[in-house]
Structure 1
């Protein structure tokens, strides 16, 4: 069957040279369901053992559309005797594992196996292991079964309220659209390259976040010391203990704004207790400020704002006095775990009167500025890779929508 509702099955975007319509097939005729067992997490290890176990929670959260067993950290069965006793089917490259139970509509998320290198692979709890009965190019099934073109038909088949599931029989009755193996190969290779770029920038982003955390730990004194572990050449004076209120000439909460006056776009950003809240048509602060969230789940979190902005009553606006640097205060506050000073109630809150009394170690303004410049550079790099990640993920989402039928 090559048409749907009278229209040829052709994706919006496809590679040059491919013009034939895709074929529609029943999933149960294309993939056979394999047997799987439930293994206890106590029987698994992160590094030992020759047999891998695929857990549904990892399919939902950690693994992508294609699981490269040569590179990914996948739990292993520690005891070979346990592996030998399993009555489930051993999996192989090209097999797909679908999560059949979850607490949301992520039910049906799939991962395709590759690079198992002959090591035994098992499917675990709340999963459906399937094997193609015909020829499929590497990477095609993993990405196609996760695309909205396929996944949208699963939504009406899901059962349950809090815990949602889909049955094997319902999955077997779904339909697939399939191009030629040559076109599948091009699609699989394209998404493989895209996934590699996403992984590359994710690693760079993660490394920079770890670097920043380490630098914050070493460039600010701890344990009552008057000196940080790492500091710039030419600075030898001990840091001094000061109350936060002594470091600033403005330290107060913002003002209430009606939710109707906050929108997704506008000339001036609105900052609340958890950071950027939206935009509005007026402002109540101008210049560089460090912000402390004073209410909510993220009570004590720290942000920075520059220019004309509106700060709500859930954000404490802090501007340094002439002896200190506002950007430095942003990084300093981030090391202080300010949330610990919130009131013990169902709705945590920070009082300005308590915050101004909190004590911290600070250097002179010249050293503060040096420290600020270093962390601003690191933050710029983190933001750069974060934006590249968001762009690549958006490109992938768009391609998943447009390259499948």
Structure 2
């Protein structure tokens, strides 16, 4: 498939936009039809209601009573909406299409894995999807993660980014946010896969983070512009998060966590699954322990172990950050670098971690890890994507 054309005047881009809106993922019948006849001819057949029965069944609800010209106009409107936020649409055969990552889908489908279908097309903001899956690591975990989970996710992601690899996650709160932030602050690349339209920020509090990812990495969606987030879309989206990396690391997950669906998808796609152990008393580590007990996942505890597991050489490690506090003087026992980050936190307002990098003059990965230490010590608090000082007795 040619990669030429970027707007409503391109039959290929119009076809891809139309097909993405017409079919709810995963749409295996539509993908197979596109593979046989190409996106332009497939779109013509879909809008004219002359496609094979399986394709008509997958697209009927979205076509409603719209005639072909109205369907083309709707596709053009999506292209305009995407362009307004700096997004472009790509499909199989384009130079930006992650062919190596998506080869796993037909192989899994041949083994009888349900829902193992590549996207019909992808909306992208930011850099091309290079380095996936071989030089990429997926980081997933609980939205309501503990300070321990946030610290581990940040430290592993910082190590992955420092090694020149890509950090893939879903831009949710908790582990996802920590992973993206650590990669960005370390000057690395990160990919956020959305369960909504490319023009939406979800969660809304991560709007700034998504802008930062689009500037230094890639934001990805297989849903049309305006698409709303929904539970089933998060579960479907998880197969892409797993496919785009050589291995998936589960940092924290409860017994019934949706994060485990990403681990399952990774296993089904032939990707390495890794899990970080946690306290046996923590409900948020039960899912990780079950993965390890079932030998479904390989145990990892740091970035070097993750990189070794997927065959990437680690860069120089980030210096360890420790805390040995005197409970009578909470800040006195802080490691010097942690203390510098604490001093950089304003007393009466919240700031992004990037501001703390500037104020403390420390590397981004060090700041992210230090914030996790301060949170565990009760000296820093998260305020959405921002941070604030939590103690009331600071100098």
**TM-score, length-scaled by structure 2:** 0.23
Larger radius of gyration: 1
Q: TM-score, normalised by structure 1?
A: 0.23
Higher strand proportion: 1
Greater helix share, structure number? 2
